[in-house]
Amino acid sequence: GLEPTPFIWFDGELVPWSDAKIHVLTHALHYGTGYFEGIRAYKCANGQSAVFRLREHMQRMVNSSKILALPCPYNVDELCKATIDTLVANKMSSAYIRPLSFVGFGSLGVYPGENPINTIIAVWNWGAYLGAEALEMGVRVRTSSFNRMHPNTHMGKAKASGNYVNSVLAKIEAVRDGYDEALMLDTNGFVSEATGENVFIVRGKTIKTTPLTSILEGINRASVITLAKDLGYEVVETQFTRDEVYCADEVFFSGTAAEVTPVREIDNRIIGQGRAGEVTKVLQKAFFEIVQGNNPKYKEWLTPYSY
Ligand code: PMP
């Protein structure tokens, strides 16, 4: 379960964890009318800590509000400052950070009307999302029977609470069938993303990742693309199919929670050698060096803090 931390930032104030409550008739609870972020802070080698790509996450949060045509009560600067305040108040040297804005209590008509928008930022300890051994050994994946949303149903560029019903359906199906994660196809049958991660495949010296059409614009996806190019790999953003994934030398996921996680098996087909491939290992190592402040080249990706 989730270990409580002392404080949650709630509409501009740090309140004790157990007091951060809302009414059961909150609009967002009924209709999924919220938008959120998932961010990580890491303990750095120099004894300080740093949030990874904080501004980019908060810019995406503001973008989500725009896509959903819902107000965002705070700007990027305010959201960044509130995040650091929350980490410091909770004395967290590393954390998973969850900002969420949602349509609050008021009317319960579908039209959000004049309901308030509430905003929270919670922080807690969250280890490797798909399991510590998954970072080394890789995960087992099935192609979902559910498609990722068509851009004219729910718009996947918004990190909207309601969008996650699609992810939850796919995740439940995958886990109950004995897999760790689901690979989702778009409504045209091309590979889209996983329930909470973007997808990369490696064939020879080329790394492919899906285009932005049906996916969440992952911050880690962007980081991996930059990093891979800087390391001399060719990276192509292009559509590909599930059978191309089966034949890939390596497959891996990127995401804030999952970090860089290798995929060792898909639909009962072993990928490559059935464990983290060479390119995946290089990128994963580089990723952890960066987030832990051990690569000055990417220090603009880090927002340092101490308490
Ligand atoms: N796709 C989905 C559906 C997600 O939930 C996430 C996690 N936020 C990602 C991709 C990866 O995005 P990021 O790298 O920004 O965490």
| 18-34: pLDDT as tens digits | 999 999 999 999 999 99
Per-residue pLDDT of 103-119, as tens digits, reads: 999 999 999 989 999 99
CB 125 within 8 A of CB 94: yes
Tell me the mean pLDDT in the region 56-74. Answer: 98
How would residue 186 be classed by pLDDT, with cut points 50, 70 and 90? very high
- In this structure, the residue with its CA closest to atom 2 of ligand 1 is 196
Q: Which pLDDT value is given to residue 142?
A: 98
- The Cα 260–Cα 228 span in angstroms is 12
Which positions are catalytic?
A: 159
DSSP, res 277:
-
Q: Which pLDDT value is given to residue 154?
A: 92
pLDDT surpasses 90 at 132: no
- State the distance from the centre of ligand 1 to the C-alpha of 196, rounded, in angstroms: 5
∠ Cα 302 280 143 (to 5°): 105
The count of residues in the chain is 307
- In this structure, the residue with its CA closest to atom 13 of ligand 1 is 218
**Taking the CA of residue 272 as centre, how many other CA atoms within 13 Å lie in the half-sphere pointing to its CB?**
23
Task: Say what the ipTM of the complex is.
Answer: 0.99
Element (H, E) at 120: strand 117-124
pLDDT surpasses 80 at 214: yes
Q: Which pLDDT value is given to residue 131?
A: 86
Per-residue pLDDT of 225-283, as tens digits, reads: 999 999 999 999 999 999 999 999 999 999 999 999 999 999 999 999 999 999 999 99
Residue ranges per domain, the chain? 7-124, 132-291
Backbone angles phi, psi at 209, to 5 degrees: -140, 155
CA distances in angstroms from 285 to 32, 51, 217, 290, listed in the order given: 37, 18, 22, 9
Backbone angles phi, psi at 138, to 5 degrees: 90, 165
Residues β-bridged to residue 195: none
pLDDT surpasses 80 at 1: no
- The Cα 191–Cα 188 span in angstroms is 9
Per-residue pLDDT of 284-300, as tens digits, reads: 999 999 999 999 999 99
- The Cα 122–Cα 20 span in angstroms is 10
Tell me the mean pLDDT in the region 190-199. Answer: 98
Beta-carbon count within 10 A of 43 CB: 16
The SS3 call for residue 122 is strand
Q: Which fold has domain 7-124?
A: D-amino Acid Aminotransferase; Chain A, domain 1 (3.30.470)
Backbone angles phi, psi at 64, to 5 degrees: -60, -45
User: In a mutational test of the pocket of ligand 1, which residue from 197, 212, 223 has the highest number of ligand atoms less than 8 Å from its CB?
Assistant: 197
How would residue 75 be classed by pLDDT, with cut points 50, 70 and 90? very high
DSSP, res 160:
B
**Chain mean pLDDT for the chain:** 97
How would residue 128 be classed by pLDDT, with cut points 50, 70 and 90? confident
Q: Which pLDDT value is given to residue 205?
A: 87
pLDDT surpasses 80 at 207: yes
How would residue 167 be classed by pLDDT, with cut points 50, 70 and 90? very high
Beta-carbon count within 10 A of 212 CB: 14
CA-215 nearest atom, ligand 1: 1
**Which among 161, 164, 163, 169 has a CA at the least distance from the CA of 144?**
169
CA-223 nearest atom, ligand 1: 14
How would residue 182 be classed by pLDDT, with cut points 50, 70 and 90? very high
- In this structure, the residue with its CA closest to atom 7 of ligand 1 is 196
- The Cα 245–Cα 263 span in angstroms is 10
* CATH architecture of structural domain 132-291: Alpha-Beta Barrel (3.20)
Which residues are near ligand 1 (CB < 6 Å)? 38, 167, 193, 196-198, 215-216, 218-221, 254-256
CA distances in angstroms from 277 to 14, 206, 263, 280, 299, listed in the order given: 44, 13, 9, 5, 27
Alpha carbon 285 to chain centroid distance? 19
Report the share of the chain in percent with pLDDT over 70. Answer: 100
Residues β-bridged to residue 140: 265
User: In a mutational test of the pocket of ligand 1, which residue from 183, 198, 209, 213 has the highest number of ligand atoms less than 8 Å from its CB?
Assistant: 198
How would residue 125 be classed by pLDDT, with cut points 50, 70 and 90? very high
DSSP, res 190:
S
- Which class for 256: exposed (0-12), middle (13-18), buried (19 or more C-beta within 10 A)? buried
Q: Which DSSP string corresponds to 211-226?
A: -GGGS---HHHHHHHH
